[in-house]
Amino acid sequence: MSSSTSPHGADQRRGPLRPGERVQLTDEKGRMNTITLTPGGAFHTHKGFLPHDEVIGREEGTVVANTVGHRYQALRPLLSDFVLSMPRGAAVVYPKDAAQIVTMADIFPGARVVEAGVGSGALSISLLRAVGDGGRLHSFERREEFADVARGNVETFFGGPHPAWQVSLGDFQDEVVKAEEPGSVDRVVLDMLAPWECLDAVATVLAPGGVWINYVATVTQLSRTAEAIRQDGRFTEPEGWESMVRGWHLEGLAVRPDHRMVAHTGFLLTARRLAGGVTGLTPKRRPSKTEFAAEDVQVWAGNEEDWNAEGLGERTVSDKRLRRVAKDAASTVQRGAFKDVNPETD
């Protein structure tokens, strides 16, 4: 089915529903289940079952009835559905933030991008889509088990290894300078605990004008990274923001925001590499010395040993659990299946 002119993974996303594909079945109450189409297989519920053969060969968006007349709408999962339900070992970058990263960091087809850490590979999938087959994404991860989880998820999503992707183990700040020529990288994307530790490495590999984007979970990380970038002088003024997406209930005259929403995911912070030997422009208005003192910043910073996953409120995950998730992600590649999980409660 794949044609040599189609970008990697594109052919799998169109045409009639095929055996081995994942399909979302949504019932009349809006409940969703994800199944993997298997000839002769069946989707069982406490009220009847739906033979997979009723779905195989049909167009996406088809509506099929099970043995007792319950109707289901069948669609392929989108990227956003996939990342929220794939096996994961740590918090993933939510689709709304991945969208911001791709656009605000100006990730373009053909770009040479470096990324850390890989985690479960959610952001890697969006970055690979954005750079395309002709680009390059080099992802760095310090924990082998995470790299395994990410490989499983990326290969499931694209239906095999992606030609633009390379994963290296180790600390980004140590490895990227060995792997990439100085000034050769277009974009740097960091989702990790301590991006300020990567300042020198980023300044070395990033091309003049290149974009550095950071995704951090807490205000303290945001502030520390911003101040480190500002003090360094090799970058433009850092810019920080967050995005909130509020779904809407749309039913007749009852048109209003949803009662519940994901209120916080993370903050984004960008800066661009200045040309070599250039010192950044001083912003028109900087806080005067009387506005804050070193001790005020120290209140944020605390002691160096406090800057760990626990201190920053991150869920820690054992190697053993990660190995289990990696196994899950790897078997997902073979089966082409993934669990259906509620992103709001997971």
Ligand X SMILES: C[S@@+](CC[C@H](N)C(=O)[O-])C[C@H]1O[C@@H](n2cnc3c(N)ncnc32)[C@H](O)[C@@H]1O
Closer residue to ligand X (CB): 43 or 87: 87
Q: Between 36 and 75, how does the x/- string for binding to ligand X read (CB under 6 A)? A: ----------------------------------------
Applying CB under 6 A, the span of 56-64, 158-166, 171-179, 338-346 interacting with ligand X comes to 171-179
- Give, for 209, the enclosing helix (H) or strand (E): strand 206-216
116 belongs to the binding site for ligand X (CB under 6 A):
yes
Report d(CA 270, CA 232) in Å as an integer.
14
Closer residue to ligand X (CB): 24 or 126: 126
Could you tell me if 121 and 158 are in contact, meaning their C-beta atoms sit under 8 angstroms apart?
no
Report d(CA 12, CA 38) in Å as an integer.
16
If phi > 0 it is left, if psi is from -120 to 50 it is alpha, else beta; for residue 173 that is alpha
96 belongs to the binding site for ligand X (CB under 6 A):
no
Report d(CA 310, CA 295) in Å as an integer.
24
Smallest separation, CB 273 to ligand X (Å): 19
Of residues 20, 136, 125, 135, the one with CA closest to residue 76: 20
Report the residue from 165, 172, 212, 235 that binds ligand X according to the rule CB under 6 A. 172
For the record, the structure tokens of 177 come out as: 């300078």
Other CB atoms within a 10 A radius of the CB of residue 307 amount to 17
Report the residue from 91, 177, 228, 301 that binds ligand X according to the rule CB under 6 A. 91
| Residue keyed to tokens 């959610």 | 122
Site for ligand X in 117-136 (CB under 6 A): 117, 119-123
Applying CB under 6 A, the span of 43-51, 114-122, 241-249, 277-285 interacting with ligand X comes to 114-122
According to DSSP, the β-strands at 62-65 and 239-241 are: unpaired
Residues with Cβ within 8 Å of residue 298, at least 6 apart in sequence: none
Report d(CA 91, CA 192) in Å as an integer.
11
Closer residue to ligand X (CB): 100 or 173: 173
Closer residue to ligand X (CB): 142 or 323: 142
- State the number of binding residues for ligand X (CB under 6 A): 22
Smallest separation, CB 179 to ligand X (Å): 12
Could you tell me if 229 and 238 are in contact, meaning their C-beta atoms sit under 8 angstroms apart?
yes
Smallest separation, CB 193 to ligand X (Å): 5
228 belongs to the binding site for ligand X (CB under 6 A):
no
Site for ligand X in 178-217 (CB under 6 A): 191-193
Closer residue to ligand X (CB): 43 or 146: 146
- Return residues touching ligand X (CB under 6 A): 90-93, 116-117, 119-123, 140-143, 146, 171-173, 191-193
